Amino acid sequence: MKEFLDILRNDHTDFDKGTLDDRLKNISPMELFKRWYQEAFEQQCISPNAMTVSTVGKNLMPSSRVVYMKELLEEGLVFYTNYESKKGKDIAENPQISAIFYWECLSRQIRVQGKVEKAPDFMADDYFASRPRGSQLGAWASKQSDVIADRAELEQELKKIEKRFEKQEVPRPPFWGGYLIRPTYLEFWQGRPSRLHDRICFEREDVKKDSWKVSRRNP
C-alpha cells in the first residue's frame, strides 16, 4: 500500500509543462479557452473535446457523465444529446450546469459553470446530418436512460428503425438536439511542481458588455 501511495505522489509532483502568466488576465476567457483547446489538439491529447458535464435536477442529486463538445463558439460550448435523457430532464428542471476538461498531456484543466439552453435547430440539423448513418439510426433506436430488459431489446428496436428508414435519409429526431452552455465562470488550472499549481478564474460581471472579474487563486 505504501509503495502504491508513493507512486501516486511521485506521479503528480514532478510536472512543469507551463505557467499561467498574470498577463493572461487581460484577454477574454473564451480566447484563452480556444488557445488551450487548440494546443490540446496539437499535442495530441487523448479526446481533447471530452468534458465531464454535471447537472442537478429537482431531487438536488448531482449527476455527471462524459460527453463531447462539438462546437466552441464565442457564446459558449455546444454538445448534443437526447432531450429526454437523464441530463435532458435535469436541464429542463434546472438550467444551471457545470463542465470540466482535463488534458493530462499538458497538465491542464478548465472548469466551466454557467446556464444551458437549447441550441438553434439549424445547428442540430447540420450536425446530425454529418453523423455516420449508424449513429443517426442509433439516436432513433435508443430511448436514452430508460430501463430495458436486455441488449436484445435495443437491437430489436434498431432493426425496426433500419427498416423504417431503409433507402432514405435519416432525419433528426424531434427529441434529439444541441445544448449551448453560456459560461458565467471559467477557471484555468495549470499543473506546477510541488502542487503549487496556477489557477486563474474569470467570473462574468456583465453579459452585455462581456466584462469579467479576474482573480488568481491559491492551488
Q: Which of 35, 65, 164, 195 is catalytic?
A: 195
Nearest to 103 by CA among 184, 16, 43: 43
Beta bridge mates, 180: 78, 117
Kindly give the pairing relationship between strand 77-82 and strand 96-103: unpaired
Q: Determine whether 195 is an active site residue.
A: yes
Distance (Å, whole) CA 56 – CA 143: 20
Nearest to 214 by CA among 18, 14, 1, 31: 31
CB atoms within 10 A of CB 209: 8
In one-letter notation, the amino acid at residue 68 is Y
Q: What string of H, E and C letters represents the secondary structure of 35-58?
A: HHHHHHHHCCCCCCCEEEEEEECC
Distance (Å, whole) CA 126 – CA 77: 16
Sign of CA dihedral 185, 110, 202, 219: positive
Residues designated as active site: 195
